[in-house]
């Protein structure tokens, strides 16, 4: 009887809703690009893996050592039509600023958002 109860309890744990997390529909590698209408075009890579990942833009600025460093992201929303994540640059270098990116789904391979200075930021699935 004890063994059967153990097996039943184990089966319930495996089938419980807490363990049945839905996979993030945006998991994978994305090319990130900023329009260059006001300043130079920027490109990089965003990797999304469930509730985390990374942000890396290919850029350098002597006046800002935070620019161009790879930083972890924390996904806060991954719905059918929206992806929201925080870029945690403070974890990489003291004094760097964290920020949140909000993207809306354009189609199955593209997402679009707005940078703090008004530039369009695109994510394209690689």
Structural domains of the chain, ranges and CATH numbers in brackets: 22-125 (2.40.128.120)
Considering only CA atoms, which of 16, 15, 108, 103 is closest in space to residue 55? 103
Per-position pLDDT tens, the chain of length 126? 554 544 444 444 444 444 445 789 999 999 999 876 655 567 899 999 999 999 998 876 677 778 888 999 999 999 999 999 999 999 999 999 999 999 999 999 999 998 877 888 999 998
Task: Supply the pTM of this predicted model.
Answer: 0.77
For residue 46, what are the contacts with CB-CB under 8 A and spacing of at least 6? 29, 30, 32, 53, 54, 55, 56, 73, 123
Please list, residue by residue across 77-94, b when 16 or more beta carbons sit within 10 angstroms of its beta carbon and e when fewer do: ebeeeebbbbbbbeeeee
């Amino acid at each position: 009887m004890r063994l059967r109860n153990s097996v039943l309890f184990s089966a319930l744990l495996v089938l419980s809703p807490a363990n049945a997390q839905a996979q993030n529909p945006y998991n994978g590698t994305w090319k990130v690009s900023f329009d260059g209408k006001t300043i130079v075009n920027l490109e990089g890579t965003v990797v999304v893996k469930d509730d985390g990942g990374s942000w890396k833009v290919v850029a350098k600025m002597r006046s800002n050592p935070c620019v161009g460093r790879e930083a972890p992201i924390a996904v806060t929303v991954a719905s059918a039509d929206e992806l929201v994540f925080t870029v945690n640059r403070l974890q990489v270098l003291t004094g760097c600023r964290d920020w949140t990116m909000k993207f809306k789904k354009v189609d199955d391979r593209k997402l679009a958002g707005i940078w703090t200075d008004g530039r369009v930021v695109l994510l394209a699935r690689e």
